[in-house]
Structure 1
Amino acid sequence: MTSAARDPYTGRLDALVVEGRTVRDRALLQARGEVVRGAADTVARALAALPPDVGRVEVDMSEVTFMDTSGLECLDVLGEYGRRRGVPVAVTGWRGQPRRVLELVGLDDTDPLPAAPFAGSPVRNASAVARERAEQLGSLRAEIAQLRHAIDSRPVIDQARGILMAAHSCTPEQAWHVLREASQRTNTKLREVAGALIASTAPGGPPPSGALRAALRAAVARHVPPPPAAGDGTAR
């Protein structure tokens, strides 16, 4: 059972796989791959395939290599299964980045599922917990989105820096300062400045806007020392 999940950093497909077996009345599930969008459906299908007389579910997460906020959805699916069936569900073996996600949202990184309110036990009011989890989820989603945007932007910015280094014989750090100052001067996102510069170097490519050209010239003048005059440094 897999989710068609795409690695957001390398582009490789590393779908979540949930394999299971039963030992007496225990269901032992092994999760492997990445817990991203679509993973909750994979977990739900794995649970639906379990025998109806299962008395306990144990999920091993030790082979999960990456997890975003979809992991919280998976925990909700597992918790709901335990409450609905009246069986304990344990999710253990957290390692690396997935474990860090649990820490960020304030969950137990040994077994993040709270004790399930089994049949006959009182169900506590979880509205405050639900609100807190929703706030943590929103914050974590925003952080992950920012990280992905930064990673996606890096190749474009590095290519633009290379163009400036070749054109002005400057260092990588100087090229970075030129791009950043041009971005600030024109109130344009750094990635857009880099993209415009790259596009202008293609055959027949559109030149940067007048404002951006002026900002780049000013930034180069500030951050890139002029080449030494002919004869400087020669022996007399």
Structure 2
Amino acid sequence: MGVISDNLDIWWDGLLGTLLLFFGGGLIAVVLGTIVGAMRVSPIPIARGIGTLYVNTIRNTPLTLVFFAFAFALPPLFGLRLTAPIPLVLAICALGIYTATYVAETIRSGINTVPVGQAEAARALGLTFGQVMSLVVMPQAFRSVIPPLMSVLIALLKNTTVAAGFSVVNLGSVRAYLSERGENQLLVIIWVAVIFVALVLLLSWLQRSLENRWRVAR
């Protein structure tokens, strides 16, 4: 435990950075992914085309390259100086935009589980496409996609370590900082893994709780 108790400042900064990356990136991913998922099933060809282009382009691009684009292409383009908290904000955006493609496909699969007749009945009542999606389709779709959506968020949590290579402090960068203090790097890696396992177990518990709650609601 000495490797933790003697370096609480670094561990706290690393954990805080990971949580900020996870919650910030997750918020962007869920909101943007829901919008793109709806676009993918939209009756408007242009919306479907934009959604398909976005998903196929970003999803087939390695996450590291997405980070490179945000770290080295966007700052000169917009005149940004890479001083705190700009690297963290750019990392959150990179994670959110990348993960949104997987959220979009998950949401789209959930939308496809809703019987077509319900959407047609809603349109027959005079509801617009947006109203049909928000009032009829999405509430049912989200119930069916809780397990795969949580898997996407767990993958997002683990992907936060990529930001360590771009000067963003998180659990993935703890090893490098503690190696400068002479700590056993293998022991540090083991503790980082333990923390990630604990966070994943917490997300799994949340998934089961949501499933049980919404199953009763039905």
Q: What's the TM-score once normalised by structure 1's chain length?
A: 0.23
For the pair shown, the structure with the greater C-alpha radius of gyration is: 1
Higher relative contact order, structure no. (Cα contacts within 8 Å, ≥ 6 residues apart): 2
Comparing both structures, which one devotes a greater share of its residues to helix? 2
More strand by share: 1
